[in-house]
Amino acid sequence: MKAMLQCMSHTPLKGYFDPSPDVVGEVADLVNAVREEVACFDPEVIYLFAPDHYNGVFLDLMPQFCIGMGATSVGDYMTPDGPLDVPRQLAERCAEAVIDCGIDLAFSYRMQVDHGFAQALVEMTGALDRYPVIPIMINAVAPPLVSFKRARQLGEALGRFAGHEHERVLFIGSGGLSHNPPIPAIATASDPVVIERLIAGRHPTPEARDARQKRTIAAARAFAAGDGGLHALSPEWDRAFMRQVQARDWSAIDAYRNDEVSKAAGASTHEAKTWVAAAAAMEAACAQGWKAEARYYRPIPEWVAGFGALSGYSHEGPSKSRGGAAPAGRLQCQSKQDRKGTSDESA
């Protein structure tokens, strides 16, 4: 089989509170290059690992992992609302295979997803429904949280299934790296309105969603100005993590402790588990026959994000659907960014 991996940070603040134009352009070049590669690769299906931010999944029933048999984007921030193209029978077979591997995977036939999923799909493919996609939510905001090791095991189980099902598959990890946006926690919340929103805040009014988004933007402005009390970004942690994923240093990744990650890099850094799951899926699907490449990193305070990107490509192999051997990914689809070289801030 041929497989591609694309891991990238997302941010709801893009377009609302941006860094300098050169940084915006740098990230836009990165996104355009990834989109060109994905279009050239033309995946049969995408397995998308992403978190939710109390927009689709709430504390009335919070799974650690959830696969969508059907899914709809809520349309928060600048992402579109509407259905994803989820192949139901494939998702059902995938869930059965993953559960057979000992992973307790929840499932939903009416999954709601937010910008964590939608931004990755729109930026990397151009639309919510350009390709069939299996969405897999990883809880990254509501303690108690699964370990990095367990996220790796989820990815492995899914990758073994995908490796037997497809000719060309794209794995996406959407989230991370170091960041700590102003997401309230049930352990410290005292306002009854906030508590109810965390437990069952589905389908907010447009006014309520707009108010929440404005609070996030205001917090980002304060953070970029050096105020607001949010956890600082941690480029050192981010770069070390990216090196470990690139090297597929699973023992180092398994060793991460949730409390230590929160302390070192912020409470929402657990979104990095989407990268771990996606890379582990790539590893299992390709029987280790692939190469990873860390291609971008920059701490961007305006987006409250350590913003990174990492790609992976399976080794050359036969393609039944295309009638012959061909290298996948960047070797086949050299992009404008490839020709220019990577940013000075690349990891």
> Is residue 166 among the annotated active site residues?
no
Q: Residue 23 gets which letter from DSSP?
A: H
Q: Which of 115, 166, 231, 270 is catalytic?
A: 115
> Where does residue 84 rank: exposed (0-12), middle (13-18), buried (19+ CB within 10 A)?
buried
Here the tokens at position 167 are: 């000719």
CB 279 within 8 A of CB 7: yes
Q: Which of 10, 53, 166, 179 is catalytic?
A: 179
User: In the chain, what are the helix, strand and coil shares in percent, each to the nearest 5?
Assistant: 40, 20, 40
> Is residue 164 among the annotated active site residues?
no
Beta bridge partners of 59: none
Please give the angle made by the CA atoms of 56, 267 and 238, to the nearest 5 degrees.
110
Here the tokens at position 275 are: 């990268």
CA gap 147, 182 in Å, rounded: 22
Other Cβ atoms within 10 Å of 30 Cβ, number:
23
Q: Residue 326 gets which letter from DSSP?
A: B
Q: Which residues are catalytic?
A: 115, 179
